[in-house]
Amino acid sequence: MAEVNCTVSSPLKEKLRELSLLYGQYSVHVLCEALDVPRSTFYNHIFRNKKDNNSYQIRRTQLSERIKQIYEESNQIFGAKKIKAILANQGEVVSDKMVAELMQEMNLYSIRTEAKKNYTRFNYEKKKDSLKMVFSVKAPNQVWVSDVTCFKLENKLYYICSIIDLYSRKVIAYKISQKHSTQLITSTFKLAYSERKPADGLIFHSDRGVQYTSHAFQKLLKTLHIKQSFSPSGRPHHNAVMESFFSSMKKEELYRTNYHSLGEFKQRIRKYMEFYNNERPHTTLGYRTPNAYERSFYDKQEQKKN
């Protein structure tokens, strides 16, 4: 048991403050028994103050990052108990309950839990390519396409995940990471979703990479009523829009620039995305830019209303 800066005879306020610092490391029963504090009183204190408890929030954030890292490094296999054991080996004392709670908040689930059911379902559904190489749609936010490419900088690989709206060919979100992980895909998608706020019925198309077919990502799309579509195995041309975009980005930016730092690399990528959306004419769009093409659509919608 860790040391606390109070005794059983200390004022209740002091005891609650000390015990809250150990919450999540030891069972509540052990903590409360050690300083003779009723469990109901302790729970009331924790749940009443945790939103305003800065040290509590910092600890949760730090733990979440470590849990997410261990989860991804296990290829989404480890559940709360195994992650708790690994944290313990690293010197981090935390309870199963706390790990499970944080994993649930981050939508992280061990693939072992429903592995057979997911395998059966995916093998039944995975042949569904909703696009079938038809890359024209009638409005924004009907179909999004996504892929990941990598670029080597200073002997390190960096992965760029992008999402494009098929209607306007606009890059609606992108993220850069040193890890080709489910978290990269998920965070990029969440960024796009928060920016665009699509209605139900959106189709999200990608290849069959393990990041896109992961249980966590599939569950996220299902929760948001988004239909997932996949290119057939070994047929990248079924996601030709993304292939074309990354080809252009490499020829027009990545292969032309000698980056001197990661910061410069990220800045140039950001500027290229802005250039692509705002200034670069697109042949498929009648030599209009993605943003101009979208504006034209919404202007027509407004005219119909008036």
Helix, strand and coil in the chain, % to nearest 5: 55, 15, 35
In this structure, the chain runs to a length of 306
User: What single DSSP character describes residue 76?
Assistant: T
Q: What average pLDDT does the segment 80-88 reach? A: 89
pLDDT given at position 54: 61
Confidence class of residue 114 from pLDDT cuts 50, 70 and 90? Answer: low
Q: What average pLDDT does the segment 69-93 reach? A: 85
Confidence class of residue 242 from pLDDT cuts 50, 70 and 90? Answer: very high
Q: What average pLDDT does the segment 192-219 reach? A: 91
- Contacts of 176-179 with CB under 8 Å at 24 or more apart are 176/265, 176/266, 176/269, 179/72
144/164 Cα distance (integer angstroms): 6
pLDDT given at position 121: 56
The answer to whether the beta carbons of residues 262 and 153 sit under 8 Å apart is yes
pLDDT given at position 170: 97
pLDDT given at position 103: 86
pTM score above 0.85: no
For 7-24, write each residue's pLDDT tens digit: 888 888 888 887 777 776
73/235 Cα distance (integer angstroms): 28
pLDDT given at position 71: 85
What type of residue sits at position 198? P
Element (H, E) at 232: none
pLDDT given at position 115: 55
pLDDT given at position 175: 96
- For the record, the structure tokens of 128 come out as 């569904």
Q: Is residue 270 predicted with pLDDT exceeding 80?
A: yes
Q: Which residue in 205, 132, 208 sits closest to 165, CA to CA?
A: 205
Which residues have CB under 8 Å from 237's CB, separation 6+?
Answer: 133, 243
Give the distance, in angstroms, between the CA of residue 292 and the centroid of all CA atoms in the same chain: 29
For 159-204, write each residue's pLDDT tens digit: 999 999 999 999 999 999 998 888 999 999 999 999 999 999 999 9
- Which range has the worst mean pLDDT, 35-49, 70-84, 148-162? 35-49
pLDDT given at position 126: 52
Q: Is residue 104 predicted with pLDDT exceeding 60?
A: yes
CA atoms within 13 A on the CB side of 164: 26
Element (H, E) at 177: strand 170-177
Using DSSP's 3-state secondary structure scheme, residue 148 falls into: strand
Q: What average pLDDT does the segment 232-237 reach? A: 79
pLDDT given at position 113: 65
42/32 Cα distance (integer angstroms): 7
Q: What's the start-to-end Cα distance of the chain, in Å?
A: 71
Q: What average pLDDT does the segment 140-147 reach? A: 96
203/225 Cα distance (integer angstroms): 9
pLDDT given at position 39: 75
Using DSSP's 3-state secondary structure scheme, residue 98 falls into: helix
Domain boundaries, the chain: 12-105, 124-305
- Looking at domain 124-305, which CATH architecture does it have? 2-Layer Sandwich (3.30)
Mean per-residue pLDDT of the chain: 85
Confidence class of residue 123 from pLDDT cuts 50, 70 and 90? Answer: low
Q: What percent of the chain clears pLDDT 70, i.e. is strictly above it?
A: 88
274/240 Cα distance (integer angstroms): 21
